[in-house]
Amino acid sequence: MASAAEVWRNDTFLRMMDVLRFEHPNKNGLALGTQVFDRAVLQARGEGYQTALNNLKAMSEKPVKNRDIPETFSPSNALP
């Protein structure tokens, strides 16, 4: 995590990430009349691309600890 955080402070790397964001597949429009399947492929490609960008960023951040969820169920809340 510390190594990834250090990389994210590097100006060259940040410019490289700017290029990747600029080249995002979802920035390419499709012509009118494009088939639904082709639109679905472009959407899926864009979602995967965005996930990859998000994962790169997430590697540099401190993980969030799971918090305990208080129990709120009781027999009085049960359905009849």
Q: What are 32-61's pLDDT values in tens digits?
A: 999 999 989 999 999 999 999 999 999 888
**Domains of the chain: total:** 1
User: Is 90 exceeded by the pLDDT of residue 22?
Assistant: yes
Amino acid letter for position 35: Q
Residue 77 domain flag: no
Which token pair is 57? 């960023």
Residue 76 domain flag: no
Which token pair is 53? 């960008």
Residue 16 domain flag: yes
Q: How far apart are CA 80 and CA 75, in angstroms?
A: 10
Total-model pTM: 0.67
Spatial CA neighbour of 10 closest among 45, 60, 69:
60
Structural domain boundaries enclosing 32: 2-62
Which token pair is 8? 């994210």
Q: How far apart are CA 17 and CA 54, in angstroms?
A: 11
Residue 22 domain flag: yes
